[in-house]
Amino acid sequence: MWILASAALVLALAALVLAVVALRRTSSAGARPQADALPEDVHGLRQEVAALKLEAGDALRHLSVVRYDAFGDVGGHLSWSLALLDDAGHGVVLTSIHGRSEARTYAKNITGWTCEQQLSPEEDEAISHARG
C-alpha cells in the first residue's frame, strides 16, 4: 500500500513539473506577439467603425408611422403618414388618405427635417417622431 501511494505521489510531482514547464513556454512565446499586434488590430477596427458610421449616415434609419382617420365618416385609422429619414433629416414622407370609396397616396421630399410643400399635421407629427 505504501509503495502504491509513493508511486502516485511521484507521478503527481512529474505531472506538476511538466505543467509548469508548458505554462512557461506558452506564456513566454505567445504573449509577446499578441501584445505587439493589439494596437495594429485596434487601429484597423477603428478605421472599420469610422467607415461604417460614414456609410450608415445615409441610411433611412429614422422611421415613424402616424395612423389616423382622415374623414369623420370613415373609421379604423386606415389613413397613415410614414416618415423615412436619414441622420441629416433627408428623405421622404409618404401619406395615404383613405376615404369611403377610394384611397390616395402622396409622397413629399424632406430636406433637413423640413419640406418645401405644406405638410399636414399628421405628416409633421410623423417627422417629429422620426427625429426623436
Q: Which DSSP string do the residues of 64-128 spell out, in sequence order?
A: EEEEE-SSTT--SS-EEEEEEE-TTS-EEEEEEEE-SS-EEEEEEEEBTTB-SSPPPHHHHHHHH
pLDDT digits (tens, 9 = 90+) for 54-93: 888 888 999 999 999 998 887 889 999 999 999 999 999 9
Distances (CA, A) of 123 to 41, 72, 76, 113: 46, 19, 18, 11
Q: If you ran DSSP here, which 8-state letter would residue 59 be given?
A: S
CA dihedral 2, 4, 10, 12 (to 10 degrees): -120
What is the pLDDT, as a whole number, of residue 116? 95
- What integer best gives the mean pLDDT of the chain? 85
pTM exceeds cut of 0.85: no
Is a pLDDT exceeding 70 seen at residue 42?
yes
Q: How far apart are CA 53 and CA 99, in angstroms?
A: 42
| Among 93, 69, 92, residue whose Cα is nearest residue 79 | 69
Averaged over 37-58, what is the pLDDT?
83
Is a pLDDT exceeding 60 seen at residue 117?
yes
What is the pLDDT, as a whole number, of residue 2? 64
| Among 66, 61, 121, residue whose Cα is nearest residue 85 | 61
What would the grid cell of residue 111 be?
430636406
State what percent of residues in the chain have pLDDT above 70: 88
What is the pLDDT, as a whole number, of residue 63? 96
What is the pLDDT, as a whole number, of residue 110? 97
Residue 35 pLDDT level (bands cut at 50, 70, 90): low
Residue 98 pLDDT level (bands cut at 50, 70, 90): very high
Q: How far apart are CA 71 and CA 116, in angstroms?
A: 25
